[in-house]
Chains A and B, each alone.
Chain A
């Protein structure tokens, strides 16, 4: 992955993290009106760490060449992670008392659907990438294709 691609991926991850932190900041500012729920905070922490983990693995592949075909599946994953981050904490607090347990009850299906989609997409795209790489670099299969034998 070259630096330009990493910068673009970092922007998407950065916006997602910023959205989460802004939501947390708004909650902390209104802390007197908030009924906290540790389960929702745990989900938000898991989402934050998952983004960090994904970004770290992207940054670790800096020397590997990348095509748009390699990057598009990653882009889909980053979009899913952004939606997940945006949903993990409430954005609009309004004037009333904020109940995070109620928020989790209302949003949990959406949050877990996004998480399942992101995880399935990650595993699926990795499996396809490995299968393509094996097909491309397997010497025995290449020899069989070209008809040569020992």
Chain B
């Protein structure tokens, strides 16, 4: 069974990844393509 700490840690990683993707490559791609 997966502990709550592992689930919470994973949620934080998803939030961090979303922020990095949006501010990094995704923003760059949208500026370059648009």
Residues of B within 8 A of A105 (CB): 6
Are A46 and B14 CB-contacts (below 8 A) given A53-B28, A105-B6?
A: no
Q: Does A22 contact B (CB under 8 A)?
A: no
Across the interface, do B17 and A46 meet the contact criterion of CB distance under 8 Å?
yes
**A contact patch SS:** helix
Interface residues on A, range: 10 to 19
Across the interface, do B25 and A50 meet the contact criterion of CB distance under 8 Å?
yes
**Nearest opposing residue in chain B for A46, CB measure:** B21
- In the A-B complex, the 8 residue pairs with the closest CB atoms: A49-B25, A53-B28, A53-B25, A46-B21, A42-B17, A50-B25, A50-B24, A46-B20
Chain A contact residues, CB within 8 Å of chain B: 39, 42-43, 46, 49-50, 52-53, 56, 105, 108, 112, 115
Across the interface, do A43 and B17 meet the contact criterion of CB distance under 8 Å?
yes
Question: Which B residues, 14 to 30, have Cβ-Cβ distances below 8 Å to chain A?
Answer: 14, 16-17, 20-21, 24-26, 28-29
Across the interface, do A46 and B6 meet the contact criterion of CB distance under 8 Å?
no
